A and B are shown apart, each in its own frame.
Chain A
Amino acid sequence: MAFTFAAFCYMLALLLTAALIFFAIWHIIAFDELKTDYKNPIDQCNTLNPLVLPEYLIHVFFCVMFLCAAEWLTLGLNMPLLAYHIWRYMSRPVMSGPGLYDPTTIMNADILAYCQKEGWCKLAFYLLSFFYYLYGMIYVLVSS
């Protein structure tokens, strides 16, 4: 059992993915609250917007780590999500602070539906990657 850099990367990714799962669940609950008129869009956007960049940066961070650890397969699986994050952030509405959600347009049913779907898809992806990193970590620990 060799504790290589790759094993360390997987362990870190595991922990960070737990945080990402938490963010995804937060998003789902937040959009559901908006949909059922439980919360006001201005307050909700003020809560959600600060969470967007940390989520993206965490993901970028462990992509970089995998790059350094030369784990090409894992990196390849994360590339689409990275590209998607970059595209999403580039096409965000005009805003002075960080964030993706504009309170004046978020209550539009199309946008709300899109954000909810996005939340569920991301949750599924992060959950799958959690188990993949778990497997990967054990494989790396055992096989060297």
Chain B
Amino acid sequence: TLTGGDSSSTTTGSASPVPNSYESLEGGGYSDLAAPPAGVPAKQAPPFGYNYPTVHPAYQQNPAPKPDPSPSHGGYNPPGYQPYSQPFPSLSELSSALGGLGGVSEQEAETLRPVNLLQERNILPPKRAPPPEPNLSNDLRKVNCSPDTFRCTLTNIPQTQALLNKARLPLGLLLHPFRDLTQLPVITSNTIVRCRSCRTYINPFVSFLDQRRWKCNLCYRVNDVPDEFMYNPVTRSYGEPHKRPEVQNSTVEFIASSDYMLRPPQPAVYLFLLDVSHNAVESGYLNVFCQSLLDNLEKLPGDTRTHIGFVTFDSTVHFYNLQEGLSQPQMLVVSDIDDVFIPTHDSLLVNLKESKELVKDLLNALPGMFTHTRETQSALGPALQAAYKLMSPTGGRVSVFQTQLPTLGAGHLQSREDPNLRSSTKNVLHLGPATDFYKKLALDCSGQQIGVDLFLLSSQYSDLASLACVSKYSAGSVFYYPSFHHVHNPAQTQKFQKDLQRYLTRKIGFEAVMRIRCTKGLSIHTFHGNFFVRSTDLLSLANVNPDSGFAVQMSIEESLADTSLACFQAALLYTSSKGKRRIRVHTLCLPVVSQLSEVFAGADIQAISCLLANMAIDRSISSSLSDARDALVNAVVDCLTAYRANGSNIQPSGLIAPAALRLFPLYVLALLKQKALRTGTSTRLDERVFSMCELKSQPLQQIMRMVHPDLYRIDNMTEQAALHLNDSVIPQPPLLQLTAEKLTREGAFLLDCGSVMYLWVGKGCNETFIRDVLGFQNYASLPSNMTEIPELQTTYSERTRAFISWLLESRTFLPAFHVVKDDASTKTSFFQHLVEDRTESAFSYYEFLLHIQQQMSK
């Protein structure tokens, strides 16, 4: 049963007298870990079925899933695809012989197949490769956590730190813990079974020693099974604890009792902080915002206790009294911005249900109230301080809309960008904050469970590097719409509107903390993402939303030689928008290996690239951008050198990489050409900083699309190999490499970059396509600013729209769409994404490979 109203008592089990209560809520780390009791007999004969196989994975004869051997596999394999045909017959014979012996599985042999990058022209698979499957038994694989939620850079964990260092690859996890899930088992039992010493939640990878005892897979402590756990409510049977849903699913949600609450669960509280200076009114965002909020007022996540408030600011701060019973909203102006105070106590944050009419009146009147304003200053700092004071009692979410540099009051900023240095090839300055006002404010907000989200809609430099701090440490999100204007830039306006729709209606969790636990021997040393690191493994998230991803880096403190499985558990304790305290637990299990070749075989190149991107951004802020770029190149050089040193004694010419890592140089080159890390091309500082924020806070799929977009040819899509879903036929054109070589004037190509999509139409594109899909007679009549595909009744149009909707299926933020003609000015932004091509300041892909080869031979 849920007790929502009791005051809390901290949970037992954490021995240290911690004044910081959130630690004790979630349970401690290993500080009170005692040595395993000496009474445990050395030999356990577990009853059949209660234990999981602990045989070294290399000896398991798994029917490993075959890699993608579709016949249209591109040019690099001869037709009649043979898994082992390649230029190095001796190595392939060796690996196939080993595969037969059972020492190396087929899957592993495929991922270790050497690829000469200088000779293979087409290394891109026709479809985006799925994440590598860990080499586990089928039972474990079935219950293992979905890679969309929890992903590791190395699916085979090295046994020792020395082995990891030899591989020269980073070890880390990429998490997306609060992602929208279609199926989530929710456990409502009274007891939440956790390990006594390390406080790990029971998960599918524990071993049951007998019916009444279980062994933790993270600290190896033997625990008792409580009586309530013996009864399985799903199957109504007794005595089979291993069939309970907590032990059958690696992603579960527990309903937390009052032990997990420091205070009664807070209601949803939303505060909107709106810039109403002249600049803001000019840009016209207020109309879009008010309309969007009016449309979505019913759909704001919450219940009957939801509160809402509005604060507008220019050179003074304005509050709105929305007390139920007033005939219209009352504006209260506080002009003393050096010492902002809250004019009245009760009616600024009002119950949404009760004051709905007043809120609607305010939203309708707001755009009109400031049309003739002459205020050009912006007092963002004082407005944020006022918001903090207003929200401190409860916590909640503050959404800040800013259109210019804050110039007045505390936290005012100077323009630091020098436009002449935008294309500098040397160091880029001012990537870090200018003042710690916003960071300190974010920390205060985080302490009071207030999350601050920032929407920056400015056309001039607004020092996003300093402003973004207010969201970074309070677990908020940053949105940036450069050159936003409701008339001159309709594409941005549309995107803003669509983003607001998602932002206002998406799920939200309040007053959250997250803890990531690993098997004994592994430890986490660096965290990446928007949160505050409260202790060595506890992250404090004032708000948690389904669109943010996190990354952590790990090191191996002790040898993992005596275990064959390493497990990781992420537990997120949060208050849902309906005031229920929940714990979402994800558990991932991976095999431990002792051979360097196995480490390479299990490398997940997408996860590695994302983790390297996070590390590069940290390095560019703490040290310098050129350092970060060099470090990225060195990462590739070191890794391929390590592979070569470990491999056979054959030293062929060329650049050899294992198949698992064949896309590594390509992804690193794409990273070096990102707005965040590029030099030599003119990049505005705010856009660069925003690109850095995205790389650090987006989930993996979104980052990969941003870094290495998907290019398809869509004017000649056929039904061959199409998917048939729900009565519609979805064509599956192959992925093309990102080079202008693949573009042709006679075609139309779609570039999917995650947050924006381009449809490039060649000058000689066939008129059937232009007529049937785009609705215009010929190429010349295509407008230069088309932002959507019309719904025409032709097969071509249906097919194209089906394909695009299929691409957008599980996306949360819909991309902006641009139709780019070959001679339009927007074509530069399209061509910037073609990373394999040479630009005036960066290598082409082949040149980059030669550069790596040169570095390797030093």
Contacts and interface: CB of A to CB of B under 8 A. Distances in A.
A34 to B, nearest CB: 8
Interface in B524-552: 524-527, 532-536, 538
Interface residues of B, number: 31
A95 interface: yes
Interface string A27-69: 0000000111111111000000000000000000000000000
B381 interface: no
B731 to A, nearest CB: 48
Contacts of B16: 36-38
Residue among A34, A40, A104 with the highest chain B CB neighbour number at 10 A: A104
A41 B439 CA distance: 14
Given A37-B538, A38-B16, A40-B534, A104 B525 contact: no
B433 interface: yes
B1 interface: no
B170 to A, nearest CB: 14
A109 interface: yes
Contacts, number: 63
A103 B532 CA distance: 9
Given A37-B536, A103-B443, A96 B435 contact: yes
Nearest to A39: B20
A2 interface: no
B204 interface: no
Interface in B502-531: 523-527
Contacts of A95: 436
Interface residues of A, number: 21
Contacts of B436: 93-96, 102
Interface in A60-113: 93-96, 102-104, 107-110, 112
A107 B20 CA distance: 15
Contact of A41 (B28, B29, B526, B534): B534
Contacts of A35: 536
A36 B20 CA distance: 12
A42 B23 contact: no
Contacts of A93: 436
A112 B447 CA distance: 22
A109 B20 contact: no
Contacts of A112: 536
A35 B28 CA distance: 12
B526 A37 contact: no
A34 B20 CA distance: 12
Interface in B774-815: none
B526 A109 contact: yes
B673 to A, nearest CB: 28
A42 B447 contact: yes
A7 B779 CA distance: 93
Interface of B: 16, 18-20, 23, 28-29, 31, 432-437, 439-440, 443, 447, 473, 523-527, 532-536, 538, 555
Interface of A: 34-42, 93-96, 102-104, 107-110, 112
26 contacts: A35-B536, A36-B16, A36-B31, A37-B16, A37-B23, A37-B28, A37-B29, A37-B535, A38-B16, A42-B447, A94-B432, A94-B434, A94-B435, A96-B435, A96-B437, A103-B443, A104-B473, A104-B532, A107-B534, A107-B536, A108-B525, A108-B527, A109-B524, A109-B525, A109-B526, A109-B555
Q: Which 7 pairs, one residue from A and one from B, show the smallest C-beta to C-beta distance?
A: A109-B525, A37-B535, A107-B533, A40-B20, A95-B436, A94-B436, A96-B436
